[in-house]
Each structure stands twice: as structure tokens, then as C-alpha cells.
Amino acid sequence: MTQITGKAIAGLIGFMAFGPAGLLFGLVLGHAFDRGLWRALQLSGPEAVHIMRAQFFETTFTLLGFVAKADGRVSEAEVAQTETLFGQLRLNAAQRRSAIEHFKTGSASGFDPAPTVARFNDCLGPRRQAQHTLMAFLIGIALADGTFSETERGALYRLSELLGLPRREVDQLISMVNAQAQFQKRSYQQSSAGGGYRPRSAETELNTAYAALGLKADASDAEIKRRYRKLMSQNHPDKLIAEGVPDELLRVATERAQEITAAYEVIQQARGAK
């Protein structure tokens, strides 16, 4: 009943005011109203969180396939990255099958990501942190093979336009995700070497730390602290849950907080030594 209310009312008003032509125009307007109202009612009920998380899951793995295939083929490194992601997420058998099917859909020749992103936008709305979290996953798959081709960048730009994200934000995210991944690799190497790992260049590591926070080396102490607190707040589990990030993806998303903290500590140590 809810889904026909707008069409009925708008169609009647249009017919009474302008005759048959007004009826048609009213039905079009009413349909748009009903679609928005129905979605609003869906996302205000008890199933809202479930609907958002399911859509986030579907969108993530579909677009992972799209980005992985952007340069013409899904590389072994990208397959390995996806497999690693499956392991990190601890997907059960059903979730794994679903993720693989979505990935295959996105990596199919001629796949158009617009409808997938439209469903994501329709379901989650303009949630900027949810959009950034989604883009971070996609950037990660693009960086998986150690190279970042122009076709992959073009695919990310296309998705950002569909999401309504400006390119400058995407460029900053690419820089940050790349730098944060280096801190993740650094932590792994340290643990593997029993604490004996040392970076080859303290200057390089410091520059990477600034990039991980999306800052330049001339940022003030106050700017650094504000950015660190903002990033930690954005990547807090409660914040991500409210943004519709599924529990499965939450495990990987919150690892960013550890990488951000590692970068912040490097900057603090360097500045404290001066």
C-alpha cells in the first residue's frame, strides 16, 4: 500500500489540474516519491542495519572484482589479496561462496558498476565514512600486485564519481592506504624478525608516516594531533557499525586504526627527539 500512495495522490491531483497529461506527470512524480518513502521506511525499521550491512558486503566484493579486472586481467597477486581478505574476515562457507560470486560478477567482461553503486547509495545514503571505507578496500586490491596502473586509477575515479567523492579525496586516500599498508608490512617484518627488523631509512619511514595520516611534513603539532584523533574516531568500531559496515568487514577496517597509531607514534618520536 505504501508503494502506491504517492502515485495515487499525485496522479489524481495531476489529472484534476491538467487532465490526462497531468495524470501521467503526476504518476511519474508519485513513483519517485514512493520509491524514496519506501526506502526511508525500510531503513528506519529494525531491519535497517541488516539491510545496510548486506548491501555493503555485496557492493564491496562486486567492486573488488571490477577493480581487479580493470587492467585487463585479475593478477595472481590480486587473487592472493582476495584470498587473504577472506581469511581475515573469517567468512563461513556460505559467506565465502557469496563473496566469490559477487567478485566474479564484478570481474566479468563488460560489467557496468553504476547499478551496484546506485544500490549502495540508495541504501546507505551520503555516509562519507562508509564511502571512504569502501574505497579503502578497493584501493587495497589495486595496490595488491605492487603496481598502480592508470586503468586501475581510472576505475577508482569512475567509482568515486558514482559515489559523489571528489578526486582529491580519492588521491589522498590512495596515498594514505598505500602508506598505511607499508606500516602493516613493517609490523609483520618486525614480528617475523623477532624485533630485529630496522627500517632502511628513518627519513623514508617518517615521510611514510606523514602520508599515512594524509599530512605533509610541515604540519603543526596541533594539526597532527587533530588529524590523528579524527582518523581514530572515523575508524572506531562503533562509528563503522553505525555507517553500515558489516561485522565481517569490520575486522579488516579496524586494522587501519593500528596502522594509523603506528604512524602517529613514529611522528611523535621524531618530533620528540628534536
Q: What is the mean pLDDT of residues 100-125?
A: 91
The residue with greater pLDDT, 61 or 15, is 61
Predicted local distance difference test score (pLDDT) of residue 38: 42
The residue with greater pLDDT, 230 or 252, is 230
The residue with greater pLDDT, 11 or 161, is 161
Q: Is the pTM of this model over 0.85?
A: no
Q: What is the mean pLDDT of residues 123-140?
A: 82
Q: Which amino acid is at 250?
A: L
Q: How confident is the model at residue 6 (pLDDT cuts 50, 70, 90)?
A: very low
Exposed/middle/buried for residue 196 (C-beta within 10 Å: 0-12, 13-18, 19+): exposed
Predicted local distance difference test score (pLDDT) of residue 253: 65
Per-residue b or e along 104-116, where b marks 16 or more CB atoms closer than 10 Å to that residue's CB: ebbbeeebebeeb
Query: Collapsing DSSP states into helix, strand and coil, what is residue 198?
Result: coil
**pLDDT for 188-226, tens place per residue?**
444 444 444 444 467 788 888 888 888 888 889 999 999
User: How many CB atoms sit inside 10 A of residue 20's CB?
Assistant: 9
What is the residue range of 165's domain?
Answer: 48-176
Considering the domain architecture, whether residues 64 and 53 belong to the same structural domain is answered as: yes
Considering the domain architecture, whether residues 29 and 110 belong to the same structural domain is answered as: no
Distance, first Cα to last Cα, the chain: 69
- Does residue 245 carry a pLDDT above 90? no
Eight-state DSSP code of residue 87:
H
Considering the domain architecture, whether residues 102 and 198 belong to the same structural domain is answered as: no
SS (H, E, C) 225-239: HHHHHHHHHHCCHHH
- Does residue 20 carry a pLDDT above 60? no
Distance CA 162, CA 76 (A): 28
Considering the domain architecture, whether residues 205 and 221 belong to the same structural domain is answered as: yes
Eight-state DSSP code of residue 22:
H
Predicted local distance difference test score (pLDDT) of residue 48: 66
Grid coordinates belonging to 186: 613493517
Considering the domain architecture, whether residues 164 and 61 belong to the same structural domain is answered as: yes
Q: What is the mean pLDDT of residues 9-37?
A: 43
Considering the domain architecture, whether residues 83 and 149 belong to the same structural domain is answered as: yes
Task: Give every CB contact of residue 64 below 8 A, 6+ residues apart in sequence.
Answer: 82, 85, 103, 106, 137, 138, 141
119-133, 162-176, 186-200: which has the minimum mean pLDDT?
186-200
Predicted local distance difference test score (pLDDT) of residue 45: 52
Could you tell me if residue 220 is left (phi over 0), alpha (psi between -120 and 50 degrees) or otherwise beta? Answer: beta
Predicted local distance difference test score (pLDDT) of residue 155: 93
Task: Among 121, 152, 176, give the residue marking a domain's end.
Answer: 176
The residue with greater pLDDT, 122 or 23, is 122
Predicted local distance difference test score (pLDDT) of residue 86: 76
**Total structural domains within the chain:** 3
Task: Among 133, 155, 176, give the residue marking a domain's end.
Answer: 176
Query: Collapsing DSSP states into helix, strand and coil, what is residue 57?
Result: helix
Predicted local distance difference test score (pLDDT) of residue 252: 66
What does pLDDT average to over the chain?
74
Task: Among 122, 154, 176, give the residue marking a domain's end.
Answer: 176
Q: How confident is the model at residue 244 (pLDDT cuts 50, 70, 90)?
A: low
Q: How confident is the model at residue 49 (pLDDT cuts 50, 70, 90)?
A: low
Distance CA 256, CA 274 (A): 28
Q: What is the mean pLDDT of residues 244-265?
A: 74
> Taking a C-beta distance cutoff of 8 angstroms, is the pair 188, 196 a contact?
no
